[in-house]
Amino acid sequence: MRFTFTQDNLAKLSPAVRPIVKDGRMVGIEKVAVPKQYIVYDAGANVAPGFGMYVGARRKTFVLQTRVGPRVTKVVLGDYPRLNVNTGDALTDARLIASDTRFAMKRGEDIQQLRTEERVIVATTLGDVLRNYLHQYLRGKNPRPNSIKAIEAAIRRLQPWLGKSLRSIGSATVDDIWQLIAVDQGHRTAAEQTLMWCRAAFNVHIERQQADRNRASFDSELLVNPFNIARRKMRTRSELEAQYDDNKVRNPVANTPERLGVWLDALWAKRSQNRDAVDYMVLTLLLGARRSETAQLVWRDRLLAAGQKEVDCSVLTLPDGDGLGQVTFRGTKSGSTHSVPLGRFATWLMRLRHGDYHDQLYVFPSSSKNPATKSPHYNSPREFVDSMRTTLEKHSLLAAWGTYSMAYTAKGQEPPLPFEQFALTFPPQWKFTMHDLRRTFCTVAVNIEGMPYAVVQQLMNHSQMGNITARYGKPNQEALRKHMQELENELLRHATTLPKMQMKA
């Protein structure tokens, strides 16, 4: 029995009734004396031949009967009403599923294997994709601790969605994630980073599916990354830069006596109480390095005794005699190995450390007394930066109070505000982070007259993949050493308490 399937007429079918068909259409139903199961076939246009419905006592099921070679094969597509006709959804429209299944059968594919693979896809969740991505990242080249923490944080933020099947994720899910993190919780940057990691994880998942396409028994790859739409919500580079300026989150220390000069003097004054932190911050400034890069430095001449290979470590080399030192960073953010010379002051400072820390592999060993501390090197600059800010703020407050009170004392008047109230109205003067030392290094470098831009780019270890000229013509080590000494002199020029060997010819 054949007629054109519709949602209405399929709903009326049962073993207790039979369809009344006229001119390929079901025009009604009639009751039967003895209920009995039966099969009807779809006569609709562009429908896979052999597509029909089994009407049984317990359930109604869509089936497909197709000739493959000399044999006629019948397969079950799925139960009604989970599947129906005219839904327009590739996952629930029985006609679309029948067409895909028939095509696969004609190609000689194993339908049971197809269904197994399809179930795996449907069962794969957002949590699976993200955890697989993190696992692959950990096994990849140079996994960075900060990136690992960021991926783990994104997974924690996505807890309400980790169990969602990939097939159920679309623009609505992206909107919900954005609403919760960016709007309700007020963390726009966290929302942007979370969606960025989702997009990256989905891209890797899609690449793996496409790489397995040759051996797959079906063509239903996940071809669309639903998190690409999140780019519309994210700030552009120009918007980010404008917001950074408004929020004053990037604060290189100005190269003046009142700023960098005061900062260096305050830093050096703390060396008797915390030598490791001071030397660490001075070297980070003079190298223009990232804080993690400086922290992981080891003495090159002690690697062999420690049983480690030089190619696996970032090393600091101090030559015999009066030669100047050299630092080689490995596993940098740009992915390259970065070698940079030390100036005279940095070399002198490191020679002192090398002699006084004769049994240490790391240039800056861990200062933590906690036995649970995992890091073998210095890893606590935040507390010291906070103490530096406190010291500098106090210095600025006292200087401002002296100017303020003296103006009234000279007139024989009492200041309108006592010191305590004046302190409450005095705005912060020293907002800086460890990464601002790298910005200070770069800012001072580009403002030195005659300093080639190629040298600044090389010293900063900024990626040069898009600059063919820079990749072809790199400054040699002699040129870098000359300009690094010039830069070190300029950075330390306004300090009044540091030794002056950096100014020697």
- pLDDT for the residue 505: 36
389, 372: one domain = no
Average pLDDT, integer, range 283-293: 93
Read off the CATH number of the domain in which 57 is found. Answer: 3.30.160.390
In the chain, what percentage of residues exceed pLDDT 70? 90
- pLDDT for the residue 466: 54
pLDDT higher than threshold 80 for residue 218: no
Among residues 487, 463, 432, 434, the alpha carbon closest in space to that of 289 is found at: 434
pLDDT higher than threshold 60 for residue 500: yes
Task: Record the pTM.
Answer: 0.66
User: How many Cβ atoms from other residues are within 10 Å of residue 109's Cβ?
Assistant: 17
- pLDDT for the residue 481: 92
Q: Which of 74, 108, 142 is the last residue of a domain?
A: 108
Q: Return the higher-pLDDT residue of 359 and 277.
A: 277
- Could you report the per-residue pLDDT of 222-245, keeping only the tens digit for each? 568 889 988 888 888 777 777 777
Q: 488 CB contacts (<8 Å, ≥6 apart)? A: 286, 343, 344, 345, 346, 502
Interhelix angle 94-106/111-123, nearest 10 degrees? 130
Average pLDDT, integer, range 308-329: 90
Average pLDDT, integer, range 66-95: 87
* Separation of alpha carbons 276 and 349, rounded Å: 11
Q: Which of 363, 379, 395 is the last residue of a domain?
A: 379
Q: Could you tell me if residue 454 is inside a domain?
A: yes
Q: Could you tell me if residue 265 is inside a domain?
A: no
78, 50: one domain = yes
Q: Could you tell me if residue 8 is inside a domain?
A: yes
* Separation of alpha carbons 115 and 121, rounded Å: 10
318, 408: one domain = no
410, 455: one domain = yes
Among residues 308, 362, 310, 316, the alpha carbon closest in space to that of 339 is found at: 316
Q: 71 CB contacts (<8 Å, ≥6 apart)? A: none
Q: Could you tell me if residue 119 is inside a domain?
A: no
374, 388: one domain = no
Q: 22 CB contacts (<8 Å, ≥6 apart)? A: none
Banded model confidence at residue 373, pLDDT cuts 50, 70, 90:
low
Average pLDDT, integer, range 249-275: 92
Average pLDDT, integer, range 214-223: 51
Q: Could you tell me if residue 115 is inside a domain?
A: no
State the total domains in the chain.
4
Q: Could you tell me if residue 261 is inside a domain?
A: no
54, 85: one domain = yes
Banded model confidence at residue 274, pLDDT cuts 50, 70, 90:
very high
391, 375: one domain = no
498, 453: one domain = yes
475, 390: one domain = yes
pLDDT higher than threshold 60 for residue 219: no
Among residues 104, 502, 463, the alpha carbon closest in space to that of 324 is found at: 502
pLDDT higher than threshold 50 for residue 502: no
492, 415: one domain = yes
pLDDT higher than threshold 90 for residue 275: yes
163, 196: one domain = yes
Average pLDDT, integer, range 307-334: 88
- Could you report the per-residue pLDDT of 414-462, keeping only the tens digit for each? 999 999 999 999 999 998 899 999 999 999 999 999 899 889 988 998 7
- Of 151-155, 203-207, 283-287, which range is least confident? 203-207
Q: Supply φ then ψ for residue 317, to 5 degrees.
A: -110, 130
Q: Which of 234, 256, 283 is the last residue of a domain?
A: 234
- pLDDT for the residue 503: 42
Banded model confidence at residue 72, pLDDT cuts 50, 70, 90:
confident
Q: Could you tell me if residue 403 is inside a domain?
A: yes
| Domain that includes residue 451, residue range | 384-503
- Could you report the per-residue pLDDT of 19-52, keeping only the tens digit for each? 999 988 999 999 999 999 999 999 988 899 999 9
Question: How confident is the prediction for the chain on average, in pLDDT?
Answer: 87
134, 191: one domain = yes
Q: Could you tell me if residue 269 is inside a domain?
A: no
- pLDDT for the residue 473: 60
In the chain, what percentage of residues exceed pLDDT 90? 57
